[in-house]
A and B are shown apart, each in its own frame.
Chain A
Amino acid sequence: MQMLTKAGLWKGAWSGRWLASLLSKSTILISALLMSAMAHANLTIEITRGSDQALPIAVVPFATEGAPSEDVAQIIQDNLERSGFFSPLERNAIFESPNQAEDVQFGTWRSLDVRYLVVGRVTETGGGYRIEYDLMDVSGQRQMLGETITAESGNLRGAAHLASDQIFEAITDIRGAFSTRIAYVTAEGVGNTMQFGLYVADADGRNSQQVLTSDEPILSPAWSPDGRKLAYVSFETERPAIYIQEVDSGRRVRATSFEGLNSAPAWSPDGRKLAMSLSKDGQPDIYVMDIANRSFERLTQSNSIDTEPDWAPDGRSLLFTSDRSGAPQIYRYTLGSGETQRLTFTGDYNARGRFSPDGEELFLIHRSNQGFQVARQNLESGRLVVISETQRDESPSVAPNGTMVIFATQQGGNGVLSAVSADGRSSFRLPSPQGDIREPAWSPFLN
C-alpha cells in the first residue's frame, strides 16, 4: 500500500528474490486473449505529476529478430513510469544498447545515475515471439532477473505487461498490476439524445473492447473477483436493473429489476454474493443477493439513503454511504453482529468508500473547500488526507495491488479518467477521444 522509501526499495531489491530468479530462468507462456473486438479508440495516457521519490531506471530498446508488432521496451518503460515508482531515462539519453546481461558496462549506467537497467531481445518464432530480458542492479553490479516469455503473435503487449509486472515486483516487493484491465463507461450527447457505452481496456488504456452500448444510462460497473464478469446497472428497459455479464463471451443475466432503485452492485470477495442498494421497500437500503439461489438479505433499515456498498477484503463487513446523520457519511456494517459504525467525521460529504486491498484504509470522495476530491482515510487513526488535485472527482477504484486509485474527473468540461498513487505523489490521466469517459473499475489480478 505504502510508497516505499528508497531505503525500503533497496531492502526489497536485496530480499533474495533476484537470486532465485537468477538461478532458474523461467519460461512463461501467454496465450492470446480472444478479443471479440469491436474496437474503440484507445485511451492515451498523459502523466500529470511525477513522484519526487521515483527510482531512476533505464529500459534499453530491445534487439529484434523479425518484425515485432510492438516496441516491448517502450511498453515496459511507460508502465514503470505510470506507476509513479520509477523515473525512466529518456531514450535519447541512451547511447549504449546492450541486449543481454553479459554486455552491460555498469560504469556507463552509473555515470547516468541509473539504479536499474533492463535489457532484452525479441525474437519472432513460428506464430509468435520469444522475449528474453535481464534486469540489472547497477549499483550492486549484479543481475536481478533473467526471464524468457513466449507470446502468441497477437499478444506481444500482454507479454510486455507481464515483464513489467516481474520487474516491478523484483524491485519493489509489491505485486505488479500492469496485466490488469479497467472497465469504464462512455457518454455522449445531452438529454434524450445521449449514447452510452461500457468498455473494457488494458490497464494502460489500450486494447479497448466494447461490452455494451445503449441509448439509456449505464453505470456502476464492478468486476467479479475472478475478473471474468462485470455487474453493472443499465437503464435499457427505461428503468434501472442490475446485470451480470461475462466479459469475453458477452453472455449475461439480469440479476435484479425491482421497483425503485437497483443500484451500486458490489461483489463479495468469494464471488458468490452481490451487495446492492434497493429501494423496493421504501428508502434505499443495502441488500445482499445470493447469486446462485437469488435470495436476498436486507442489511440496513433506515429512513435515510443507504447506498454504495463495498466488501471488506476479508468478507466480514461492508462499507456503505448513508445520510442518516443529515449528510452523506461512510459507515461500516459488520456481518453477523449487524453492528453499524460511522467511519468518517471530517467534513459534511464523504461518499463512495472503497477498501484498500489490505483492508486497512479506505478511499472515498470527500467534499473539501476545493470541491469533490479523492481522499484516503486510515481506518485505525481515522485520519483523512486528500490525494487528488482535481475538484470534480467521482467513482474511485483501487488497483488490486493498492498502489493507485483510478477515478473519474473533468477536464475542459469533459469527463476523463485520472489515476493517483495511493500516497498522492504521482498521477496520470486518460483523456477520452470523444465525449465523456467515467465510472472506472480496476479489475482484480488476472494472472
Chain B
Amino acid sequence: MQLKPFARSLAIALSLVVIAGCSSTGGTQDGDSYGTQGAAGTGTSSGSTTGAGAGGQYGSTSGTSGTGAGQQADSRIPEVRTIHFDYDRDSIKSEYESVVMAHARYLRSNPNAQVVLHGHTDERGTREYNMALGERRANAVQRFLNIQGVSPSQMSVVSYGEERPAARGQAEQAYSQNRRVVFNY
C-alpha cells in the first residue's frame, strides 16, 4: 500500500495540479495519489463544472471493459459497485476507471444521492494499520469522484480495514477480492 518516495513526490505534484485546477477540493488533503497515468490530464480538465465533458474524455481513455456500465442511463445506480486494487496500492486501476466514471455521472445527475465509500484491505499486516490503508483507498476514490465534479457533500468514507473480508482464505485469490472499495448508496 505504501507509495515509494519518488512516487509519493510525483503524486503530491500531480495532486497539486489537480487541486489548482479544481474549484471544489474538499477531501483532497494530502499527498496520496489516485495515481493513474492520466492524472495530469485529468487535472487540467477537471475545472470544468459541467462534468459531462470530463466524463466523456475519461470514458474514451479507459479501455473497453465496463463500457456497458458507463453508458447506462444516469438515473440508475451503476450495477458495478466494487473496484479492486493491487497489493500495496491505492491507485485506481485503468480497468476500473469506467466504473468510477459511471458513479460520477450518476452522482452528478442525482445531486440528492449519497454514497458511502467503504475501503477494505486484505488480511496481511496489522489491523489498525490496515484500517488506515483502507481509508487511503476510499479517499483515492473520493478524490477521483470529486475531480469529476461530484459534490463532497454527496460522499463519505468509511474504512473497514481487513475486518470485513469478501472472501476467506490465505491465497492471492482471496486477497485480491478483499482489496477493494465498495460504493454504498
| Cβ distance A234 to chain B, nearest Cβ, rounded Å | 11
Inter-subunit contact A308/B128 (CB<8 Å): yes
Inter-subunit contact A413/B169 (CB<8 Å): yes
Contacts of A277 in B (CB 8 A): 128, 132
Contacts of A352 in B (CB 8 A): 126, 128-129
A303 interface hit (Cβ, 8 Å): yes
Contacts of B135 in A (CB 8 A): 260-261, 279, 284
The answer, among B129, B136, B167, B170, for a CB contact under 8 Å with A392, is B170
| Cβ distance A440 to chain B, nearest Cβ, rounded Å | 12
- When chains A and B are docked, how far (Å) is the Cα of A372 from the Cα of B124? 8
Contacts of B123 in A (CB 8 A): 392
Inter-subunit contact B2/A321 (CB<8 Å): no
Contacts of B129 in A (CB 8 A): 305, 307-308, 321, 323, 328, 351-352
A194 interface hit (Cβ, 8 Å): yes
Known: A260-B157, A303-B30. A191 touches B128 (CB 8 A): no
Known: A282-B29, A284-B135. A263 touches B128 (CB 8 A): yes
Contacts of A192 in B (CB 8 A): 164
Known: A240-B131, A351-B129. A190 touches B166 (CB 8 A): yes
Contacts of B167 in A (CB 8 A): 190
| Cβ distance A329 to chain B, nearest Cβ, rounded Å | 11
B165 interface hit (Cβ, 8 Å): yes
- When chains A and B are docked, how far (Å) is the Cα of A183 from the Cα of B33? 38
Inter-subunit contact A217/B160 (CB<8 Å): yes
Contacts of B156 in A (CB 8 A): 259
Chain A residue with the shortest CB-CB distance to B8: A326
| Cβ distance B140 to chain A, nearest Cβ, rounded Å | 13
Contacts of B133 in A (CB 8 A): 305
A173 interface hit (Cβ, 8 Å): no
Inter-subunit contact B4/A235 (CB<8 Å): no
- When chains A and B are docked, how far (Å) is the Cα of A439 from the Cα of B168? 18
The answer, among B8, B30, B164, for a CB contact under 8 Å with A217, is B164
Chain B residue with the shortest CB-CB distance to A393: B126
B148 interface hit (Cβ, 8 Å): no
Contacts of B111 in A (CB 8 A): none
- When chains A and B are docked, how far (Å) is the Cα of A307 from the Cα of B156? 21
Inter-subunit contact B127/A326 (CB<8 Å): no
The answer, among B4, B132, B165, B170, for a CB contact under 8 Å with A190, is B165
A343 interface hit (Cβ, 8 Å): no
Inter-subunit contact B165/A191 (CB<8 Å): yes
- When chains A and B are docked, how far (Å) is the Cα of A190 from the Cα of B133? 20
Inter-subunit contact B2/A327 (CB<8 Å): yes
Inter-subunit contact B127/A219 (CB<8 Å): yes
| Cβ distance B114 to chain A, nearest Cβ, rounded Å | 13
A264 interface hit (Cβ, 8 Å): yes
Known: A235-B160, A282-B30, A303-B31. A264 touches B5 (CB 8 A): no
Contacts of B131 in A (CB 8 A): 219, 240, 261, 263-264, 307
Chain B 110-138 per-residue mask, 1 if CB under 8 angstroms from chain A, else 0: 00000010000001111111011101100
Inter-subunit contact A413/B170 (CB<8 Å): yes
A208 interface hit (Cβ, 8 Å): no
| Cβ distance B126 to chain A, nearest Cβ, rounded Å | 4
- When chains A and B are docked, how far (Å) is the Cα of A326 from the Cα of B135? 17
Chain A residue with the shortest CB-CB distance to B5: A326
- When chains A and B are docked, how far (Å) is the Cα of A160 from the Cα of B127? 35
| Cβ distance A318 to chain B, nearest Cβ, rounded Å | 14
Contacts of A413 in B (CB 8 A): 168-170
- When chains A and B are docked, how far (Å) is the Cα of A308 from the Cα of B128? 6
Contacts of B91 in A (CB 8 A): none
Inter-subunit contact A261/B159 (CB<8 Å): yes
Known: A261-B131, A307-B132. A395 touches B163 (CB 8 A): no
Inter-subunit contact A264/B128 (CB<8 Å): yes
B52 interface hit (Cβ, 8 Å): no
Interface centre among A239, A261, A327 (most CB of B within 10 A): A261
| Interface of chain B residues 77 through 128 with chain A (CB within 8 A) | 116, 123-128
| Interface of chain B residues 151 through 179 with chain A (CB within 8 A) | 156-160, 163-170
Contacts of A351 in B (CB 8 A): 125-126, 129
Known: A326-B4, A410-B170. A372 touches B158 (CB 8 A): no
- When chains A and B are docked, how far (Å) is the Cα of A328 from the Cα of B132? 12
Contacts of A165 in B (CB 8 A): none
Inter-subunit contact B126/A235 (CB<8 Å): no
A202 interface hit (Cβ, 8 Å): no
Contacts of A328 in B (CB 8 A): 2, 125-126, 129
Contacts of A187 in B (CB 8 A): 163
| Cβ distance B137 to chain A, nearest Cβ, rounded Å | 12
- When chains A and B are docked, how far (Å) is the Cα of A279 from the Cα of B170? 30
| Interface of chain B residues 4 through 51 with chain A (CB within 8 A) | 4-5, 8, 29-31
Contacts of A238 in B (CB 8 A): 116, 158
A394 interface hit (Cβ, 8 Å): yes
A51 interface hit (Cβ, 8 Å): no
A283 interface hit (Cβ, 8 Å): yes
Known: A235-B160, A307-B132. A220 touches B169 (CB 8 A): no
6 contacts between A and B (CB under 8 A): A187-B163, A219-B163, A238-B158, A326-B4, A328-B125, A351-B129
Question: Nearest 7 A-B pairs (CB), nearest first?
Answer: A217-B163, A305-B132, A282-B29, A352-B126, A264-B128, A351-B126, A284-B132
Inter-chain pairs besides A219-B128, A260-B157, A392-B124, 17 sampled, C-beta below 8 Å: A192-B164, A219-B131, A220-B128, A240-B159, A263-B132, A279-B132, A282-B30, A323-B2, A326-B2, A327-B2, A328-B129, A351-B125, A365-B126, A392-B123, A410-B170, A413-B168, A413-B169
Which A positions have Cβ atoms within 8 angstroms of B? 187, 190-192, 194, 217, 219-220, 235, 238-240, 259-261, 263-264, 277, 279, 282-284, 303, 305, 307-308, 321, 323, 326-328, 349, 351-352, 365, 367, 372, 392, 394-395, 410, 413, 439
